Structure 1
Amino acid sequence: MRFGAWVVEEELGRGGMGVVYAAVHTESGERHALKVIHAPAGADQEVARFSREVRVCMALRHPHVVRVVGVERTGPGDGAAPAEDEPCFLVMELCEGGSLADRVRRDGPLPVREALDLFDGVLAGLGRIHQEHGFVHRDIKPHNILLASGPDGRTTAKLADFGLAKAYDSAGLSGLTRTGAVMGTPAFMPRAQLINYKYATPEVDVWSTAASLYHVLTGATPRDLPPGWDPWLAVATSPVVPVGKRGVKLPRTVCEVLDHALSEEPDGGFRTAEALRAALKGS
């Protein structure tokens, strides 16, 4: 399969926004990830708006945020000029290690020190983008934290899709209305985001990052989501299970930080990524 000058090597995953492939450029030989965007027929204006907003996302630069290299609209073919109905796709940094969700599914929970080292980088990137760009991700989860090899050969974690969910929704490609819309993943979503999605603040990303760390350390999600339950009702009504009750031996201080981070009481939780990062460093 080809997308313009890109030859697809393999499918890496798929989700609400589209399908992600590993691909190589026929001229340069560079390897990148291509995210091919789902767009309904006749959505030309929405795709154009999405492309403009993605160019804003391209300004995001941090070693722990997956870089968007470009946005193109050239469908499979022989390099001919794109037609209006051909798919929009993003050219992104390729993270060879897959996602943290893949890692946990394959190997089980991570050792505490390894997990904390990875999330130290994630929180550094999260804080920088919140402060400097004002983006709120709204769907941080282990599936959106990718693993790559750093310059020193060590594994590093990178946030994927930062700003893209907002661009996708703002352009109207999600099919959701601007009032009462709910995006995100229930298993890693704070109650505050469900209640007031449209005006989600950086605190929801901090909660979801803590929820992702909870999963990476235990293999479980913060709330129990029994089969057959409405997951959105669970977000609205089910309490977070203290991490120490998940049957994994963890340092007491780490448990205390995570339990505070995932509190949904008015005076609970951490307001910023930097605050959670500092607490974990001290644990």
Structure 2
Amino acid sequence: MGLCHSKPPSSDRVPAQNSPLPASESIKPPPNGDNEGKKSPFFPFFSPSPAHSFFSKKTPATSGNSTPKRFFKRPFPPPSPAKHIRAVLARRHGSVKAIPEGGESEVGLDKSFGFSKGFSSKYEVGEEVGRGHFGYTCAAKFKKGDSKGLQVAVKVIPKAKMTTAIAIEDVRREVKILRALSGHNNLPHFYDAYEDHDNVYIVMELCEGGELLDRILSRGGKYTEEDAKTVMIQILNVVAFCHLQGVVHRDLKPENFLYTSKEDTSQLKAIDFGLSDYVRPGKNSCLLLSLPPQSRRPTFVYYTLSQFHFADERLNDIVGSAYYVAPEVLHRSYSTEADIWSVGVIVYILLCGSRPFWARTESGIFRAVLKADPTFDDTPWPLLSSEARDFVKRLLNKDPRRRLTAAQALSHPWIKDSNDAKLPLDILVFKLMRAYLRSSSLRKAALRALSKTLTVDELFYLREQFALLEPSKNGTISLENIKSALMKMATDAMKDSRIPEFLAQLSALKYRRMDFEEFCAAALSVHQLEALDRWEQHARCAYELFEKEGNRPIMIDELASELGLGPSVPVHAVLHDWLRHTDGKLSFLGFVKLLHGVSSRTIKAH
């Protein structure tokens, strides 16, 4: 449901024919039933959403948009995650009573939130301006005080629809996140949350400029590169801010960005944090999920930090909107990178007017997200800049480790010259530094060699991040610099996402300082460099430097000790190809594996 929505519920986007689809997903697809995976001849990015069938409470038995019967040839296609997603959302919101889940029912649920009372005495409620599946939004204004007459938006969530403990917790967490994050230029101002016997009321800034989706439609579905950059800068800034605080939105789409006014230059604001959650730093040990390519059966492997450098908490709820959902969400193991995928879908739509993944059915969409690659061959892609294409591709990388972060995207060559604002701090920098500080001396030497091969564009991001840490006059940083920089951007959300605990894991910098050269080695992402066409060149040049500066004969047992491999690991089987048999020095293959550290894939391969 859109929050602070200025569009009336009866929209001209609703089709004339009877349709169960919401206004935001209303244009009918081609009538040909064989068009799964093809684009709509109307607005291909704006076709009837299969997601509606698992978001709505009831779907008519017969509909012009219902899925036609199909006959499959053997072998049958893999099971669709769509049925599972419907079940998860039904349990979450209590919208389908037939699904058993531990016998949870509305009986005995505590629907007292401790929010302010007396909503009706402070606000005069006006007309309804938006409606979602679990609540609606009204315009309202202050009745008294210094703000008398000020227009606001009120999201009303009926308590009668909170039929599960999860649904109640969702509302509680949404208010907590909105209260904590309020104050950013690209977030609506949060006033307060109220409750009475029947409803919860979330009072926020009224955005009267309409949805980003409306602007896209008014332009016929295509933006110039410059106009798309303007939108992207605002979206990425707010996403980077949320991620720094440890908050993942989980439902980024054009409908969830509103303009403050009708002016072309008005600010864009992210709304609807109803599905948002915290992503917390990892503990001293972790359970990693390994899902190798072409395998449907996940393998769980247990590691301590001596064997794997870090693994942050992963979310597993499958939530969001079908067209914008990231592949790892469907695999039920994801973090903030899932938001970046959604941003990639949005910028793809802005630049070409089409959705990168489209099908007539929800299962078709999910198959496309998991298996298909977006096309960059059709018009207008050949006419757009190579930087624009590279930008989109690096956001829509199916491997979340290779995907750009929001802060990195803002420093991308396509967008950085249009971005007048200072780059935001990137939480990934601190995660990579944590891994670096816990690495062996051999891996640190390999990373230092790799850092010396970085291009000017790749160094730009690292220089900006280093400058944000406000190094001392001698050009070095310590733990105090990191704490100071983070506290300048801190909100209460950081406490809930346990970022202060994460800082404690950088305690090695309490006793020494780090210069820019070492910072580059500590804060570079090997996985992201691997996504580049020039990765082979990076790796070969780095290996040559490593050969000159630090490669020496080393025994397998010594290498195992350097990597922190325990006695239970078959080190000779794992590490035999890491060393050259001629002189006992690290081979190129071993060098590349060393850059990554010892991971679940390394062990599982043997």
Does 1:32 pair with 2:133?
no
% same residue: 26
Aligned 8 A contact 2:316 2:329 in 1: no
Does 1:112 pair with 2:232?
no
After superposition, give the CA deviation of every residue in 1:2-59 in whole Å (9 maximum; x if it has no partner): x724344443333344222222233311111111125435759764883465134312
After superposition, give the CA deviation of every residue in 1:199-230 in whole Å (9 maximum; x if it has no partner): 53111111111211211222221112235854
Deviation at 1:267, TM superposition (A): 6.1
Change (3 A) 1:165 1:246: farther
Between 1 and 2, higher relative CO (CA 8 Å, sep ≥ 6) is seen in 1
Q: Secondary structure at the match of 1:232?
A: helix
Partner Cα distance (2:266, 2:224) in 1: 14
Aligned to 1:144: 256
Aligned 8 A contact 1:10 1:21 in 2: yes
Deviation at 1:97, TM superposition (A): 0.9
Normalised to the residue count of structure 2, the TM-score between the two structures is: 0.38
Aligned to 2:203: 91
Give the partner amino acid of 1:147: Y
For 2:275, which of 165, 170, 173 is the aligned residue? 165
Give the partner amino acid of 2:157: I
Partner Cα distance (1:251, 1:111) in 2: 11
Q: Secondary structure at the match of 2:136?
A: strand
Report matched runs for 1:45-194 at 5 Å: 47=168, 50-51=171-172, 54-60=175-181, 61-73=183-195, 82=196, 84=197, 86-108=198-220, 109-131=222-244, 133-149=245-261, 154-162=265-273, 164-166=274-276, 181-194=317-330
Deviation at 1:235, TM superposition (A): 2.9
Aligned 8 A contact 1:142 1:216 in 2: no
Q: Using the TM superposition, name which of 39-48 and 137-146 deviates more.
A: 39-48
Of structures 1 and 2, the larger Rg is shown by: 2
Change (3 A) 1:37 1:200: farther
Partner Cα distance (1:49, 1:269) in 2: 28
Aligned 8 A contact 1:222 1:240 in 2: yes
Structure 2, unmatched stretches of 5+, are 1-118, 278-314, 418-606
Partner Cα distance (1:129, 1:41) in 2: 28
Deviation at 1:240, TM superposition (A): 2.4
Aligned 8 A contact 1:192 1:204 in 2: yes
Report matched runs for 1:197-216 at 5 Å: 199-216=333-350
Deviation at 1:141, TM superposition (A): 0.6
Deviation at 1:233, TM superposition (A): 3.5
Structure 1, unmatched stretches of 5+, are 74-81, 168-178
Give the partner amino acid of 1:66: P
For 2:140, which of 16, 23, 28 is the aligned residue? 23
Give the partner amino acid of 2:226: R
Partner Cα distance (1:142, 1:52) in 2: 23
Aligned 8 A contact 2:126 2:138 in 1: yes
Aligned 8 A contact 2:174 2:275 in 1: no
Change (3 A) 1:32 1:259: same
Aligned to 1:251: 385
Aligned 8 A contact 1:9 1:22 in 2: yes
Q: Secondary structure at the match of 2:208?
A: coil
What is the root-mean-square deviation of aligned Cα atoms in Å? 3.0
Q: Secondary structure at the match of 1:155?
A: coil
Q: Which has the higher strand share?
A: 1
